[in-house]
Amino acid sequence: MPVITPEVEAEIVKKWEENPMYQPRLAKVTVNVSVGSNFERLKKIASVLEELTGQKPSLRRAKRTIKEFGIRRGEPIAAAVTLRKNRAVEFLRKALDAVGYRLKASSFDEYGNVCFGIEEHIRIPGVKYDPEIGIFGMDVCVTIEKPGYRVLRRRRARSNIPKRHRVNKLEAMILLKRLFGVEIVES
């Protein structure tokens, strides 16, 4: 587990200021709610998710049949939203407020992405309990990347990103700490 000392943080921030291509940024925030085989409840949850994010969620279907859970192949079982730019930042502020601006160090992966869960959606500020829907949880995944990552995804002249230009765990922690005031706790 990398340790964020003031010296290490100052060194990384200095590197970001010297070359703007090294400055990481929020690429997207993905919100996922999985409910299982109850389609009526899924539609209600999708409407709440649309109110929270300001964007229409897409329904995700089961890839295979699981008899123990009563899920059939092709049946809608989850709703997901991908947020970018200002909507991503606004929602991420609400989601981090729901978890108390504290993230586990183990939630970060080696490529600078971070995922955390919100156990009850009513913890998000501005959300009221609705007895028809009940309480549901959600997964929030934040993707962080540096400028120039488009070369990985583009169709023409696709290329790889060198290791020195990838976002690492420490840089992602420092970015979230500086942007949102997140406290990183040991798991």
pLDDT reported for residue 3? 67
pLDDT reported for residue 92? 94
CATH number for the domain whose boundaries are 6-185: 3.30.1440.10
Are 52 and 87 a contacting pair, CB within 8 Å?
A: no
pLDDT reported for residue 164? 86
Q: Which amino acid is at 84?
A: R
pLDDT reported for residue 37? 75
pLDDT reported for residue 113? 94
Q: What is the mean pLDDT of each run of 10 residues along the chain (187 residues)?
A: 78 91 93 86 90 92 87 89 95 94 92 92 88 89 92 92 90 93 87
Parse the chain into domains and list their residue ranges.
6-185
